[in-house]
Amino acid sequence: MALAAAARWDRAARAARKAVAEPDDETVVQTAAEAAEGVVFAHYRQSEVRDLDVTVTFEEGVLEVDVYLNAPDDDVDPDAVADEAARAARDAVDELFAGDGDGAA
């Protein structure tokens, strides 16, 4: 089953966050992608995933995450996993901007 999910994050929506030095765009994209992939592979072995595409963009303070997952739906709902992965990416970026993440991979 092939499924896609998306999440959007806007810097302006996080006005109440702590004032810290902002991470660079590459760090934001890498953090989001790693978080999304981590969720997928927490639910599936790599050999079970037929196709996974995590697309992350961060432009002008707006994060967009698209997760395309083609995996068996025997034990886990791939749609729910893709949604969870997109949300995890957004949450990881929230933590990064809040200064809760260390910025390391």
- Per-residue pLDDT reduced to its tens digit, 53-78: 999 999 988 999 999 999 998 889 99
Give pLDDT, residue 5: 61
Structure-block tokens of residue 45: 């072995």
Greater confidence, 73 or 32?
32
Q: What is the mean pLDDT of residues 8-17?
A: 55
More confident residue, 19 or 27: 27
The strand order across the sheet containing 2-10 reads 2-10, 62-70, 51-59
pTM confidence score: 0.77
- Beta 2-10 vs 62-70: how paired, if at all? antiparallel
Mean pLDDT of the chain: 84
CATH of region 2-98, choose from 3.40.47.10, 3.30.300.100, 1.10.540.10, 3.40.50.300: 3.30.300.100
